[in-house]
Amino acid sequence: MKMALDCYCQGRLVSADHQKGIEYTMGQMHDSGERREFATGAVRDHGDLKPRMVLISPFAMRRLGEWLRLGEQKYSSRNWEKGIPFSDCLDSSERHLNAVKAGDTNEDHLAAIMCNTMFVMHYQEMIKRGVLPASLNDLPDYHSQNEPDSTEEPE
């Protein structure tokens, strides 16, 4: 039985009908085919390709959460989820980075950089799912259809 789950976006519940590509199959569990056994005898899927959420710094997460709390007080809860153009987020990140390089400590500039970066990452996913408009990505496209990707090695 396939079941699409609801999620929150822009401070509101988004029904599964409005999400693209988010379907979960009930009664099935992803299986990499690899197992690891613990000292207790318990066995679990190895999953080398799964995100390693445990590696995220709890200190960085606390600072990010505090920065978001301050933003919530200044703007409103989940205001950022409505969508801010990529260029505005990256411009803000650049200003905060410059403040860090200048030794400015009047704000948590590193948390602000992390926050703005998270916004863009979130927007990319919401654009892909069709929840937010692609126009939020207002960055110039420097790739030409006729030219190879600049990250590719020349032959």
Average pLDDT over residues 114-139: 97
pLDDT reported for residue 99? 98
Q: How far apart are CA 68 and CA 80, in angstroms?
A: 9
pLDDT reported for residue 150? 58
pLDDT reported for residue 143? 85
**Residue 86's closest CA among 37, 4, 16, 141?**
141
> Which range among 79-88, 95-104, 137-146 shows the weakest confidence by mean pLDDT?
137-146
Global pTM?
A: 0.70
pLDDT reported for residue 152? 61
For the chain, give every domain's residue range: 57-136
3-state secondary structure the chain: CEECCCEEECCEEECHHHCCCCCEECCCCCCCCCEEECCCCCEEECCCCCCCHHHCCHHHHHHHHHHHHHHHHHCCCCHHHHCCCHHHHHHHHHHHHHHHHCCCCCCCHHHHHHHHHHHHHHHHHHHHCCCCCHHHCCCCCCCCCCCCCCCCCCC
Q: Is the pLDDT of residue 95 over 70?
A: yes
Confidence of residue 138 (pLDDT cuts 50, 70, 90): very high
Confidence of residue 51 (pLDDT cuts 50, 70, 90): confident
pLDDT reported for residue 2? 43
Confidence of residue 47 (pLDDT cuts 50, 70, 90): confident
